[in-house]
Amino acid sequence: MAKGIREIKRQIKSIQNTRQITKAMEMVASAKLRKAQEKAQASRPYVEKLKEVVTSIASGSDGVSHPMLVSREIKRTAYIVITSDGGLVGGYNANLLRMVMDEIKRKHASTEEYGLFVMGRKGRDYFIRRGLPVVESVTDLSDTPKFADIKSLAFAAVQGFELEQYDEVYLCYSRFINAITQRPTVDRLLPFDKVEQNHDVKAEVEYEPSPEAVLEVLLPKYAETLIFSALLEGKASELGAKMTAMGSATKNATKMINELTLTYNRARQAAITQEITEIVAGANAQG
């Protein structure tokens, strides 16, 4: 019985140590989440304004066009997938990767028909283990990434479309809703959908040297901005998922400690009762 009590006490101590770690990780994720959330939300108005400018030029009366606005026969597709570098983030990676794999299985018969541009070690390792074509990857991104960290990958994906190596590009990431909810999303990045301009607001704008020249520079930058904005959304989602997962782990650890403490007290009480019974029995035997 004494051995059993000592074992329960060791289990309680071990879980208490684990709870301290998960609680600390929850607090760190919570602190980082506020900054990541602010950056993700701050990028949205910039992206919307850039989209407004692009739409204004592309839907002009002169019929301005650009290869990035034109749909063509789909022979090969690129997927930009944003995952985390580490674990302990609940279903953040699993939910997104499942959605990406469902999309790939639905649309492609062989690995020759698509290429993967992956951010995050979890996604990269997941695809490599399955023998899927990872064209380029970026890992070890900080919780507050800069565009320079992913510039080469974003440029390679966008240029691949411009050079017709890919006929469409999809952006796969988790959109941040709040700390509890992150929505796995697969959006078509290229070619851009033509959006009708709002003609209720009329403004006369002149572009120098020409609308075509402005689009030539602006559209690739716009695509790269969308990729970086998705990364910011993904980082906020990752930290939200980690905070939630560690919060759940802390609550579960507390529940286990309470249950083991109750078991420990019962076992200790039973041991004491047995000792008293043995003492009384011994005294009666001597009397």
Query: What is the average pLDDT across 89-107?
Result: 95
pLDDT at 95 over 60: yes
pLDDT at 267 over 90: no
43-50, long-range: CB < 8 A, 24+ apart: 43/228, 43/229, 43/232, 44/229, 46/225, 46/229, 47/225, 47/226, 47/229, 50/218, 50/221, 50/222, 50/225
Q: How sure is the predictor about 148, in pLDDT bands with cuts at 50, 70 and 90?
A: very high
pLDDT at 1 over 60: no
Which domains are assigned to the chain? 2-26+245-286 (1.10.287.80), 39-244 (3.40.1380.10)
Query: What is the average pLDDT across 227-240?
Result: 95
Q: How sure is the predictor about 230, in pLDDT bands with cuts at 50, 70 and 90?
A: very high
pLDDT at 172 over 50: yes
Kindly report the backbone phi and psi dihedral angles of residue 181, in degrees, each rounded to the nearest multiple of 5, phi listed first: -115, 125
Return the top range by mean pLDDT from 189-193, 237-241, 273-277: 237-241
Q: CA-to-CA distance for 212 and 10, rounded, in angstroms?
A: 72
Give the chain's mean pLDDT. Answer: 88
pTM of this structure = 0.85
